[in-house]
């Protein structure tokens, strides 16, 4: 049977989580040669309302492009945690931005908390790269693609003037979660 991994990025519209999902799908498909699909959903308010990006990665063709049994979920806001931290499979993982999610969703999954947005703001100096910090964190948590493939996909997506900023953000998120897992 084909190995299929479903990942959901969720937060507020405008946080760049749809972009993070696209980058992950490109890391899997273009760089690592796996099958991948990405879909997205956001409320009518778009910026500020809850949004999600789902990525399915498989070693075989994907027959259904929507997440049904989520292996890993990221929630950057309380609203997104309340709305989208459902359908996580038993033994799956939930990653929360600890500064913005105070009511932890319950389920038969492992929860990790990490101040993603604050880390971007304080350690990188730019809150706008919180989505790339989150992407590095998700890659570290799931190992769905290699660290190098994730970084390569990030660097292929951002303007040249922001390569170092995004590389630093991605690797910071990756390293912080690897520390959490120790």
pTM summary value: 0.94
Kindly state the percentage of the chain with pLDDT values over 70.
Answer: 96
β-partners of residue 118 are: none
Task: Tell me the per-residue pLDDT of 65-77, one tens digit each, with 9 for 90 and over.
Answer: 888 899 999 999 9
pLDDT given for residue 174 in this prediction: 98
Fold of 4-181: Pyruvate-ferredoxin Oxidoreductase; domain 3 (3.40.920)
Residue ranges covered by each domain of the chain: 4-181
Residue 87 has pLDDT above 90, yes or no: no
Asked if 51 and 30 count as a contact pair (C-beta separation under 8 A), the reply is no
Distance, in Å, from the CA atom of 145 to the CA atom of 27, rounded to the nearest integer, reads: 7
46 pLDDT band, cuts 50/70/90, is low
Q: Which pLDDT tens digit goes with each residue over 96-146?
A: 999 999 999 999 999 999 999 999 999 999 999 999 999 999 999 999 999
Q: Look at the alpha carbons of 49, 173, 85, 101 in this order and tell me if their dihedral is positive or negative.
A: negative
**Contacts (Cβ under 8 Å, ≥6 apart) of 29:** 35, 36
């Amino acid at each position: 049977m084909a190995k299929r991994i479903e990942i959901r990025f969720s937060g507020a519209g405008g946080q760049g989580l749809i972009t993070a999902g696209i980058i992950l799908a490109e890391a899997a498909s273009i760089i690592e040669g796996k099958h991948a699909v990405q879909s997205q959903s956001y409320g009518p308010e778009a910026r500020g309302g809850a949004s999600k990006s789902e990525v399915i990665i498989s070693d075989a063709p994907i027959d259904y492009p929507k997440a049904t049994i989520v292996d890993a979920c990221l929630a950057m806001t309380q609203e997104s945690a309340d709305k989208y931290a459902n359908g996580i499979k038993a033994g799956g993982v939930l990653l929360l931005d600890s500064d913005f999610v105070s009511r932890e969703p319950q389920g038969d999954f492992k929860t990790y908390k990490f101040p993603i947005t604050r880390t971007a703001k304080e350690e990188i100096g730019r809150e706008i790269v919180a989505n790339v910090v989150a992407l590095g964190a998700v890659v570290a948590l799931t190992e769905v693609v290699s660290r190098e493939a994730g970084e390569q996909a990030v660097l292929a997506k951002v303007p040249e003037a922001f390569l170092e900023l995004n590389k630093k953000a991605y690797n910071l998120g990756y390293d912080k979660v690897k520390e959490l897992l120790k």
